[in-house]
Amino acid sequence: MTHVPEVLSDEIAACLPQAGGIAVAGTEGLRPGDRLLINGAGGGSGTMALQLAKAAGAHVTAMDNAGKTEWLKSLGADEILDYRQQDFASLGKKWDRILDMVATRSPSRIAASLSEKGVYRALGGGVSVLLSLVIGGLRFRVQRKSIGIFLVPSGRELTERVGRAAVDEEISPHLEAVMPLSSVPEALRRTGFGQVKGKLVIKP
């Protein structure tokens, strides 16, 4: 736990700990000109990762549903992919970093989309897919490609870093709505269908 900076509202602060931690840790080390793909770019973590990546000078490909296209462009995305119409692993393109919020692809398909020394990290997905990434990804080390699961370090230090980034306006969480406790089922439904732009906050 850490104190909420005075300049942040409680509602904005509620958006930060996990999603902001993923964004900060997931974009660490990006350099100008690096090519980053964010699969699930329109969610809480994705939008903050997009902001940090653009600030670092990276070329960002944002993948989400078509309903978020113009919004993601307004956040600075260089290229937009609609996951319902396009599969990034079938485009013949390569990225230096891939941050995947929902893993569904095999290690071999991922490896084909990574440049030399490329790094792919998955944050969520089915257990069988995640296990295949951990085990199957090992064989691509000889190609100097790193494939695996993204384990976000937790704790006060990272949470404080995220808070400072928000205060310094390096990240600006997009809070779509503040909803009452009775709206939890609706919030979960919309989140599950990928309809939320950024974050929803429940306020009892």
DSSP letter for each residue of 72-103: HHHTT-SEEEETTT--GGGS---EEEEEESSB
Place of tokens 């939890």: 184
Identify residue 122 by its one-letter amino acid code: A
* pTM tops 0.85: yes
In CATH, which superfamily holds the domain spanning 10-149? Medium-chain alcohol dehydrogenases, catalytic domain (3.90.180.10)
In the numeric block, which tokens belong to residue 98? 């891939």
Across the strands, what pairs with 38? Answer: 62, 99
Domain boundaries, the chain: 10-149
Distance CA 118, CA 115 (A): 5
Q: Is 117 left (phi over 0), alpha (psi -120 to 50) or beta?
A: left
pLDDT of residue 125: 82
Q: pLDDT 10s digit of each residue in the chain, 204 long?
A: 899 999 999 999 999 988 999 999 999 999 999 999 999 999 999 999 999 999 999 999 999 998 899 999 999 999 999 998 999 999 999 999 999 998 888 999 999 999 999 999 998 888 888 888 888 888 898 888 999 998 877 789 999 999 999 999 999 889 999 999 999 999 999 988 888 999 999 999
